[in-house]
Amino acid sequence: MIHTVPAEVLHLSPEAPDPQAIARAAALIRAGQLVAFPTETVYGLGANAFDSAAVARIFAAKGRPANDPIIVHSLGGIPEGVVDWSQLSDQAQRTAQALMAAFMPGALTLVLPRGARIPPNVTAGLPNVGVRMPAHAVAQALIAAAGVPIAAPSANRFAHTSPTTAQHVYADLAEHIALILDGGATQVGVESSILDLCSDPPRLLRHGGVPLEAIRACLRAAHLPDSVAVISRYAEGDSEPLSAPGMLLKHYAPRAALTLYEGADDAILRQALMVAAADITADDAKARVGVLLAAEDAPFFAALPMLCVQVVGARDDLEAVAHNLFAALRALDAQGVTHILARGFPTQGIGAAVRDRLVRAASGRVVRL
C-alpha cells in the first residue's frame, strides 16, 4: 500500500507520552491501520492482533513473506484468546510462569500454543504464537489505549536492518504507513530473545535482549530444568538459507557487503581490518570501505581518513555495542560505503545477540583469525 502523503511523525516523551497523541494512535489501531512505535528493543510496526485484515497490511507494508510469523505484544499479562494454555504440558506452564515473572515486561518473546482469537496470518499458519510484553512506556500506553494486543514485527522493510530510531522507520516505511510515534532511540538496540516453550527442552530461536545465561539462571532458581536447545540458524561459515520461517541467514543486512573478523586478540583484528581495507581499495578504486570498531580501536584508524569509521562502544561494554549496532550499520550505508569490515566482540550475555546480527549482516562471510 503506497500512501500519497508520507507518514506523520509524532514526537513523544519516552517516559510520559502525551495521552492525546496515544489516543490518536490507538484509534488508528482500532480502525485497522498501522502505527510504528518504539519498544525497548527496536521500533515495531503495529496492528490490531485480532484483526486479520490489519495484520495483512503489515505484510504488505514491509514486503514480508507470508510464511514469517509476527509477535503479539500485550500488557500486564496475556489476554484471553491469545494463548491456548490447555495445549501446554504442566512443566512448560511452570516454565512460562517463571520466565514471565522474571522477564515480562522485557526483551523476551515466548512461543506458546496459539489461542482461538489470533488469526492464522499472525502466526503464518503455525499452531504456535510468539508473545511479549514490551518494557517501554510508549508501547505500553499504546496497547492500553488500543484495548487489544498489538501484532508487530520490527518496523523495517523486509530483511533490512531493524530500526532503533523513528528516522530509521521513516527512511524504510514513510510511504507505506500513516503514523510513526517517535520516542527517541531505543535502549536495548537488538530485538527480543525468542524462546519456544512448545518443545522439550525449550528452544532458543533467536538470541536477543535477554541473555541465555539469564534465562537458564531463572529456570534453575525456580527449580525447573535449565536445558535449552540453541537453534543455530546458520552453520558456521555456511550461507545456506534456513527452512524455518523468518530465519534467513541474510537478515539485518546493510546494503554494503559486510565481512566479520573474529577470533583473535585486538591487535591482530585491527591489523586484519587494515590489510583487508587496503586490499579492497587497491583492487577497486571506486570502492569505499567502512569499518565497525570498538572504542579501543579508534585511535589506530585515526590516521586512515579514507575509511568511514563507526565506533559502537568499548570492547567489553556489550550493552553499548548492542545499543549502537544497527544505527552504525545504517550510518555506514548512508555514507555510501560499498564494503563494511566489522570486528567481533565478546559473545557472553547480550554479546551472543550482537554476534548473531553481525553474522547475518555478513551473510555468513566470517573470517576467523
User: What part of residues 99-158 is at the interface with Mg ion (CB under 5 A)?
Assistant: 154
Dihedral sign, CA of 343, 348, 354, 359?
positive
3-state secondary structure of 295: helix
**Please, how many CA atoms are within 13 Å of residue 205, restricted to the half-sphere of its CB?**
23
Question: What is the smallest separation between the CB atom of 231 and ligand TXA, expressed in angstroms?
Answer: 10
Long-range CB contact pairs, 236-245, < 8 A, 24+: 236/366, 237/364, 237/366, 238/364, 239/363, 239/364, 239/365, 244/205, 245/67, 245/68, 245/69, 245/124, 245/126
Interaction of residue 186 with Mg ion, rule CB under 5 A: no
Among 74, 140, 192, 259, binds ligand TXA (CB under 6 A): 192
Transcribe 316-339 into DSSP letters. Answer: T-HHHHHHHHHHHHHHHHHTT-SE
Number of residues that bind Mg ion (CB under 5 A): 1
Least distance between Mg ion and beta carbon 326 (Å): 11
Q: How far apart are CA 140 and CA 153, in angstroms?
A: 16
Q: How far is the CB of 205 from ligand TXA (least distance, A)?
A: 5
Give, in order, the Cα–Cα distances in Å from 362 to each of 157, 192, 254, 297, 367.
Answer: 18, 20, 9, 20, 10
Question: Coil, helix or strand for 224?
Answer: coil
> Which residue stretch of 24-32, 147-155, 232-240, 276-284 sits at the interface with ligand TXA (rule: CB under 6 A)?
147-155
In the complex, what is the shortest distance from the CB of residue 254 to ligand TXA, in angstroms, rounded to a whole number?
16
Rounded to a whole number of angstroms, the minimum distance from the CB of residue 126 to ligand TXA is 5
Asked if 362 and 258 touch (Cβ cutoff 8 Å), the reply is yes
For residues 190-249, which are near Mg ion according to CB under 5 A? none
Tell whether residue 71 is a contact of ligand TXA (CB under 6 A).
yes
Amino acid at 216: R
Q: Which among 37, 326, 328 has a CA at the least distance from the CA of 183? A: 37
d(CA 254, CA 237): 19
Q: Which is nearer to ligand TXA, 215 or 341 (CB)?
A: 215
Binding mask 21-50 for ligand TXA (x = CB under 6 A): ------------------x-xx-x------
Interface mask toward ligand TXA for 99-128; x: CB under 6 A: ----------x-x-----------x--x-x
Give which of ligand TXA, Mg ion, none residue 259 binds (C-beta under 5 to 8 Å, depending on kind). none
| Residue tagged 491456548 (cell numbers) | 84
Q: Which of residues 222-261 bind ligand TXA (CB under 6 A)?
A: 245-246
Q: Is 310 in the site for Mg ion (CB under 5 A)?
A: no
- C-beta closer to ligand TXA: residue 121 or 123: 123
Interaction between residue 129 and ligand TXA (CB under 6 A): yes
Return all residues near 170 (Cβ < 8 A) that are at least 6 apart.
Answer: 6, 7, 9, 180
Asked if omega into 299 is within 30° of 0 (cis), the reply is: no
- CA-based max dimension of the chain: 63
- To ligand TXA, the closest distance from the beta carbon of 53 in angstroms equals 19
Q: Does 39 bind Mg ion (CB under 5 A)?
A: no
Nearer residue to ligand TXA within complex by CB, 42 or 311:
42
The footprint of ligand TXA (CB under 6 A) covers 39, 41-42, 44, 68-71, 109, 111, 123, 126, 128-130, 132, 152-154, 191-192, 194, 205, 245-246
Residues that bind Mg ion (CB under 5 A): 154
